[in-house]
Each structure stands twice: as structure tokens, then as C-alpha cells.
A and B are shown apart, each in its own frame.
Chain A
């Protein structure tokens, strides 16, 4: 079955540590890729997105992600995390080939990031 995989379920870091969260998907063809963040008690917010062009995309709050087509991956990175980055991070994929995938955003199971001050 086609899916979105986030291998890290819970990541615990100290402030100033570097972060990389993995995301792999199994959809062929062209895809639109997203990372959303959900802070405790808050709604899903868009961190960044990739549609086409430069595979290294920069988002809000110092986050960036790299699309590697050959690896079907879209990993999220941040050079130095802060306590305020503690949240749940969701990778999401929209296979942009129309038909039955129209409007469908497939989410990974999420990664809980805990940053200790």
C-alpha cells in the first residue's frame, strides 16, 4: 500500500542540538510535499512545502527540508533547536496526478519532538 513513513516516533534533544526528522513516501510520479507542525494544544501549522524547483526548501522558524527524488524522501532539518520547537511534526504528501488523489493529503504518523532547555 502506498504510504508516508516517519521513522522517528519520538525524538528528544537538548537545546542547540541539530535536528533531522525523516520522511519517506511510496507514491510514484510527481508529488507535492509538506511538513506541518502542531504545538501543544494548537492547530496544524504549515512549516514548509515543496512543489517543484530547488529541492532544498526553507520554511518558517529556521526549518528547512530537502527533497531527494531518488530516495523518495523529504527530511526536515534545523541546525539548532530551541525549547519552543517542542511539538508534533507531520509529513504529508499529495500525489499531484489528479483523479482519485485530488484533494487527498496523506499524512505520516507524526514525530513528537521534545527539546530540553
Chain B
């Protein structure tokens, strides 16, 4: 089973709202990722968690706040977003970060976010 689930599938929010995206995997993976994908563009890495600790933050604005409450869950808290933040937000997971080993990232279906 290589399933990563994400909720909600769609989200519409105003610029003053606070919302959260949720990602879950039950493959025992210890690395989890958030990506942002604009239409017709490749995914862009936002955050990486390894063993529930933030490993990479790609200079993402503070209005995006990740959280990894346990090894199966990854959240992305959203606050005071801008219309240009509208995109597909993808979660992925891999067995580990790939320390000189061979890792495959498995992606969830994404949350399509629209900021009004």
C-alpha cells in the first residue's frame, strides 16, 4: 500500500481566515513533505520533516506553518494567505530522507486551495 491521503480535497478561504491542511500516511514512512504546485508547473518543495522534526524550510513565508504531530500525520496551518497562494498543495512521504540510500517519494492527491 503506497497511499498518502489528504484532506480536504478543496478549500476556499478568505485572506483573514485560518485553516489547516491535513496529510496522513500509514506506510511507516519517517519523512514527509509539503509541496506547492501551480497550474501547468512542477511541484515546488516547501517543507520536509524527518522523524517528526523540521529538516528543510525552503524560505516559505510564515503565513504557512507546518506541524508534524506524529510520524503518520503532517499538517499545514494557513493564516492570512494571499490570492497568489492559490495552488494545489501536495503532501508526499518516503521511507527516510535518503541518506545515500534510495528513496521514493509517494504523493497524495493534493488539496486545491483558492484564496479570495
What residues make up the interface of A, taking CB atoms closer than 8 Å to B?
32, 34, 36, 42-46, 49, 51-52, 88, 90, 94, 96-98, 102-105, 107-110, 112
Assuming the A-B contacts A43-B90, A103-B31, A103-B98, are A49 and B45 also in contact, with contact meaning beta carbons closer than 8 angstroms in the complex? no
Contact B102 A32 (CB under 8 A): yes
Query: What's the least CB distance linking B76 to chain A, in Å?
Result: 16
Assuming the A-B contacts A43-B90, A110-B41, are A103 and B50 also in contact, with contact meaning beta carbons closer than 8 angstroms in the complex? yes
Chain B positions 76 through 116: 1 when the CB is less than 8 Å from some CB of chain A, otherwise 0: 00000000000000100010011111111111111000000
Contact B45 A96 (CB under 8 A): no
Contact A98 B41 (CB under 8 A): no
Q: Give the number of residue pairs across the A-B interface with Cβ within 8 Å.
A: 61
Q: List residues of chain A with CB within 8 A of the CB of B102.
A: 32, 51-52, 96
Contact B43 A32 (CB under 8 A): no
Other A-B contacts than A42-B109, A43-B107, 17 sampled, CB-CB below 8 A, are A36-B107, A43-B110, A44-B90, A44-B107, A46-B2, A46-B104, A51-B102, A52-B102, A94-B98, A96-B101, A97-B100, A102-B56, A103-B56, A104-B45, A104-B56, A110-B41, A110-B42
Interface of chain B residues 1 through 49 with chain A (CB within 8 A): 2, 31, 33, 40-43, 45, 48
Q: Provide the bound-state CA to CA distance between A102 and B58, in Å.
A: 13
Contact B42 A102 (CB under 8 A): no
B62 interface hit (Cβ, 8 Å)? no
Q: Provide the bound-state CA to CA distance between A103 and B99, in Å.
A: 8
Contact A96 B50 (CB under 8 A): no
Interface of B is mostly: loop
Query: What's the least CB distance linking A54 to chain B, in Å?
Result: 14
Contact B107 A103 (CB under 8 A): no
Contact A110 B107 (CB under 8 A): no
B55 interface hit (Cβ, 8 Å)? yes
Q: List residues of chain A with CB within 8 A of the CB of B106.
A: 46
Q: List residues of chain B with CB within 8 A of the CB of A109.
A: 41-42
